[in-house]
Amino acid sequence: MDYYSSHISKLIEEFSKLPGIGAKSASRMAFHVINMPVEQAESLATAIVEAKKNVRYCKKCCTLTDGELCPICQSAKRNQKTIMVVEQTRDLAAYERTGKFDGVYHVLHGAISPMLGIGPNDIRLKELMERLRDDVDEVIIATNSSVEGEATAVYISKLIKPTGIKVSRIASGVPVGGDLEYIDEITLLRALEGRTEL
Ligand code: ZN
């Protein structure tokens, strides 16, 4: 038997599909929405749909952005010859918050994981190799220090080595299994400064 109206049940069902949202939170969120002024509910719904419609991958670095190229790839102030490779757009944001990295990024959108069946072709690696045909001085691999992140770093360095472009790996000041997103800025900067050539 359905205790709620079918609309509320549907809303709870949709919220419970979100990461980290259990049945309890989903129903709390659904009732919160029901009690919102209609303008606020519309604004929430529009924000979701507009983000989904308009956010796309930067043609160059593959980060999530609104235009063809993200603001970092477009910026004349950034050193386009130093590319930092990260797993997610969230990691890029973490380094941007330090304000100390003046190069550009490449977002892989994942890491190689044989256990999960994620291979080199499932992440944005081909796009990175294409970028290396331009004038690039250094590729800094800043994937997470998880097993997958390390495996990805080794794989990428082996691909790049033959091109003669300098490849380095951020220092392991970043705790094992650590998600870059949650690491403080000082640790991130130390990891960047202490990077070693591969
Ligand atoms: Zn970009």
**CATH code for the domain of 45:** 1.10.8.420
* pLDDT bucket at 198, cuts 50 / 70 / 90: confident
Q: How many domains does the chain have?
A: 2
Same domain, 116 and 157: yes
pLDDT digits (tens, 9 = 90+) for 118-159: 999 999 999 999 999 999 999 999 998 888 999 999 999 999
Is residue 92 within a helix (H) or strand (E), and if so which, with residue range? Answer: helix 89-98
pTM: 0.77
Angle 121-154-114 (CA atoms, 0-180°, nearest 5)? 45
Residue 122 belongs to domain spanning: 64-197
Same domain, 172 and 98: yes
How many Å from the N-terminal Cα to the C-terminal Cα in the chain?
Answer: 62
Predicted confidence (pLDDT) at residue 183 exceeds the cutoff of 90: no
**Cα of 172 to ligand 1 centre, how many Å?**
26
**Cα of 21 to ligand 1 centre, how many Å?**
31
DSSP reduced 3-state for 107: strand
Same domain, 186 and 93: yes
Report residues near ion ligand 1: CB below 5 Å: 58, 60-61, 70, 73
- Taking alpha carbons only, the member of 150, 142, 138 closest to residue 170 is 142
Q: What is the CATH number of the domain that holds 69?
A: 3.40.1360.10
Same domain, 124 and 185: yes
